[in-house]
Amino acid sequence: MVMALAILVAIFLISPILIIIPMSFSTAISFQFPPPGYSLGYYQAYFTSYDWLQPTANSFVIAILSMAVTMLLVVPASFGYVRHRFRGKSFFNLLMMSPLIVPHVVAALAYYGYFSMARLNGTLPGVILAHGVLAVPIAFLVVCATIKGFDRNLERAAMSAGAGPLRTFFYVTLPVLRPGMMVGALFSFLASFNEAVVAIFISGRDAATLPKKMYESIRLESDPIIAVVSSLLIGAVLIGVVTSVVFRRKPKNVP
Amino acid sequence: MAGVVTAAPATATGPAAIPQGPGAGSVPWLLLMPATAALVLLFVLPIGYVLLLSFTDPQVSLAHYQRIFAVPLYTRILFNTFATSLTVTVICLLLAYPLAYVISRRNDWISLVLLICVAVCFWTGFIVRTYAWLVILGNKGPVAAVWQGLGLGAPPQLLFTSFASTLGMTHILLPYMVLALYSVMKKIDPNLLRAAASLGARPNAAFRAVFLPLSLPGVVNGSILVFTICLGFFVTPILLGTPKDMMISQLVNQQIEELLAWGFASAIAVVLLIATSIVLAIYNRFVGLDRLWG
Amino acid sequence: MKTSGKSGQNRRQVLKLGGGLVAAAGIGPLIVTERTIAQTRTIYVNTWGGSWTAAEEAAFFKPFTEATGIRVRTVAPVSYAKLKAQVQTGSYEWDITAINQAEWLRAEREGLVEPIDWTVVKKDALFPNAVFANGIAYCALGTNLVYRKDKFPNGGPKSWADFWDVKKFPGTRSLYNNSLRTVIFALLADGVPKDKLYPLDVDRALRKLTEIKPHIKVWWTQGNQSQQLIRDGEVDMMAMWNARASELAGQGVPVELVWNGATVSTTMWGVAKGAPNRKAAWEFIQFAVQAKPQADFSNRLYYGPTNPEAFKHIKPEVAKQLPTYEENYKQIAPSNIEWEAANLASIQERFSQWLAS
């Protein structure tokens, strides 16, 4: 009974997403399901359309650079936060978490107004900075948790074996923490890549991201290329999730 | 994005690291400075600017706030936003609970497949999923086709209704709830249930007496999370909903996109921010904000 | 919400792989495109999207690029608030916009548009009334009552009063989410004579609109959307731009246009104040108001030209469907641009409040 319910809910979750994939091979001009015929026409249209490829490129550039911004801010801050006791610590934590507390539409409005004074609207640096800051809380949580779980005896051992603090950091601390940091970085990449609201407000024409482009073309016209882009994104997620399951299985089966 | 955090590999169950070394006790300025400066300059100040605009644009006054609470339309939008968020939260909870229960209690391929469904859904962007509902509920979509196939006549208007936007938001936020519940349920020791059973409790009774109370923190976390995201939900209500039953974020969008009324839009945003903060502050008072995303 | 490594490992892999794949597939070819574009001069034009943009592309943009080497890229949809936001924030998405006459006048008063550089743009060839308040008109656009003939075999609605008559003409309806035109239609439906509309009685119009509101299935915002609604049969009658309806008729969709009580507004070329490419914009406008491109545009999308010479190139069967065709034009409700420009902002605000209530 519980089982059946759970399966039904999972179907409710997954089926809308899977329905998009056949749509992307459709021949119909408007959102029609089931499609009247199948072709690769809209895939071709996507891969030759400057209007779609530019936002795609922007999304990658912005996500990668904002990930870098996030990590440059978060890694030192997490070390400072986890390993030191200082006055205003909880206040600092609140500051770092604030982008999660503030609804995105409020942040979007704020950046739209604030960046217009700095002439940063519609520019790549503007979106990169905004996304870089917005992803701070997620990365901070992950990296802090990683550092907390780190066994400091490793460092002590290295130090007592004669390594200096820098050597210890780069040869002992960092390699152990790397997987956790990678997860933090990955999350901040995806936070930027999937972020829509702030991008809709501030990314303008030249820095338009994929979610912004999709949002606009949904509102503007029933452009079937959206189905193509969505299918590609879903495909990437599906491959990723399923492969990870396979990868995770391996060490279990081969102890 | 709390669910994101769920996936953090670090267990960090031990106590926070004991401060030690020369830096202990003093403020590690060098480490904290970049993040602090960035967040103040690029987050706190912009939000402050919105606050400022709400009182000063076009002139210094409280008029925008008076208008929000005096015009019935706007109070209705506030109420509607809260009601919708509450509905979405409750539905999410009801749907997510059995799913999270099964995933966390079983350790077989079924739970794996279910987890994959949740994960795929979670990582697919809001816009993509909103688009999916646009197709499904559209009058050339599968729902309409089935409706007509059953000979029920013209399909009802589904798209661009508050039903559509509630459904879309539920679908989008459901994975958050599942992951919030899952992360708590996973930690419930199965031995407790076995112990209850060995003491003669029937499965239902054991569930009610042991499992349910222990899973409550997950229920609270997930609900707060879904509720607060829903309050400020932007894309889905705009694309699937109707201007007749607006939510706060739609109003902000309309004021900016159609009327470019900075002051009023800012005031609405501030009200939204305060509402969200109140919910989180209550949570913080009783549970502690750290727990929400950690 | 801490979990042990199990699901964490899993999702981490997920991300790594997905991200890498997409990155490899996506970025490579794009940088080249970006660079090639940047080498040429480009102007950005704000248009209505869909078939409007397609017709402009064929009649104006492509020939212009061939003649001058200046690239034209388009941004949609047309939005007055966006024009204002651009000038206020200094972040320009486009240089030139299509803008209707009343909004042009308002924009000029608010200092949002550049006055035409008459040393580049030649106005002598145009109808005298095409030159207006330092701006230049390029087409006349009708907004009509349009219905599906197949849904009304015994004769469809003939006026806005009929549109409001849900008993005599049952069926789903849609209206344009545009305050001014909707208010005018409501007043006409309420029995106000065409020549006594101004000053518009907004209270009366909103009261009349409240009657029909429950029957309006969609308030459309984009031209394409309006076509999709009636093409797919989602609505049976609606207010719609004349050329969009004619286009559907040409594609075999059984739609009928009603000219009685239609509005005709003039669309102008507007250049945003301080737009970065305004020099090239003047060149473009001078190109686009010539007879040949205008005729090409009208032949594709049935809106009336502003250059009298253009009629020489317009097919006779097309001419009959233009808003400026005498038989059509005498049935429309004439507008008072001055009054509209002065009152547009307040009408808009009241309308959007009404719509949301």
The whole-number pLDDT of residue A10 equals: 96
Determine, yes or no, domain membership for B160: yes
Determine, yes or no, domain membership for B184: yes
Q: Which residues, in sequence order, are CB contacts of C13 under 8 Å at separation 6+? A: A240, A243, A244, A247, A248
Highest mean pLDDT among A174-188, B7-21, B136-150: A174-188
Determine, yes or no, domain membership for A31: no
Domains of chain C: 40-140+266-327 (3.40.190.10), 142-263+333-356 (3.40.190.10)
Domain count, chain B: 1
Say yes or no to pLDDT of C73 above 50. yes
- The neighbours of chain B, by the rule of 3 or more Cβ pairs under 8 Å, are A, C
pLDDT in tens, B41-55: 999 999 999 999 999
Angle at C349 between CA C343 and CA C353, to 5 degrees: 145
Determine, yes or no, domain membership for A9: no
Determine, yes or no, domain membership for B264: yes
Determine, yes or no, domain membership for B213: yes
The whole-number pLDDT of residue B294 equals: 56
Domain count, chain A: 1
- The neighbours of chain A, by the rule of 3 or more Cβ pairs under 8 Å, are B, C
Determine, yes or no, domain membership for B211: yes
Restricting to A residues 70-109, those with a Cβ less than 8 Å away from any Cβ of C are none
Which residue of B124, B230, B283 is the best one to mutate when testing the A interface, meaning the one whose CB has the most A CBs within 10 A? Answer: B124
Determine, yes or no, domain membership for A231: no
| Lowest-pLDDT choice from A25-34, C43-52, C194-203, C337-346 | A25-34
Question: d(Cα B193, Cα B18) in Å, to the nearest integer?
Answer: 35
Say yes or no to pLDDT of B17 above 60. no
What is the residue-wise DSSP string for chain A?
Answer: -HHHHHHHHHHHHHHHHHHHHHHHTB--SS--SS-SSB-SHHHHHHHH-HHHHHHHHHHHHHHHHHHHHHHHHHHHHHHHHHH---TTHHHHHHHHHHHHHS-HHHHHHHHHHHHHHTT-TTSHHHHHHHHHHHTHHHHHHHHHHHHHTS-THHHHHHHHTT--HHHHIIIIIHHHHHHHHHHHHHHHHHHHHH--HHHHHH-TTTT--HHHHHHHHHHH---THHHHHHHHHHHHHHHHHHHHHHHHHHHHH--
Contact A125/B at CB under 8 A = no
Question: d(Cα C322, Cα C159) in Å, to the nearest integer?
Answer: 19
Which residue of A98, A105, A229 is the best one to mutate when testing the B interface, meaning the one whose CB has the most B CBs within 10 A? Answer: A105
Contact C88 B260 (CB under 8 A): yes
The whole-number pLDDT of residue A249 equals: 52
Contact C234 B139 (CB under 8 A): yes
Determine, yes or no, domain membership for B32: no
Determine, yes or no, domain membership for A84: yes
Domain hosting B123: range is: 50-293
CATH number at residue B136: 1.10.3720.10
Domain hosting A179: range is: 66-210
Determine, yes or no, domain membership for A95: yes
Task: Give residue C326's pLDDT band: very low, low, confident or very high (50, 70, 90).
Answer: confident
pLDDT in tens, B251-280: 999 889 878 889 999 999 999 999 999 999
pLDDT in tens, A235-245: 999 998 888 77
Task: Give residue B26's pLDDT band: very low, low, confident or very high (50, 70, 90).
Answer: low
Task: Give residue C40's pLDDT band: very low, low, confident or very high (50, 70, 90).
Answer: low
Rounded to the nearest integer, the mean pLDDT of chain B is 87
Say yes or no to pLDDT of B194 above 90. no
Say yes or no to pLDDT of B108 above 70. yes
Q: Please name the helix (run of DSSP H) or strand (run of DSSP E) that holds residue C317, with its range, or none.
A: helix C316-319
pLDDT in tens, C107-132: 999 999 999 999 999 888 888 888 88
Task: Give residue C3's pLDDT band: very low, low, confident or very high (50, 70, 90).
Answer: very low
Say yes or no to pLDDT of C18 above 70. no
Task: Give residue C228's pLDDT band: very low, low, confident or very high (50, 70, 90).
Answer: confident
Determine, yes or no, domain membership for A131: yes
Q: Which chain B residues are closer than 8 Å to C217 by Cβ?
A: 157
CATH number at residue A136: 1.10.3720.10
Say yes or no to pLDDT of C2 above 80. no
Q: What is the DSSP letter of C114?
A: P
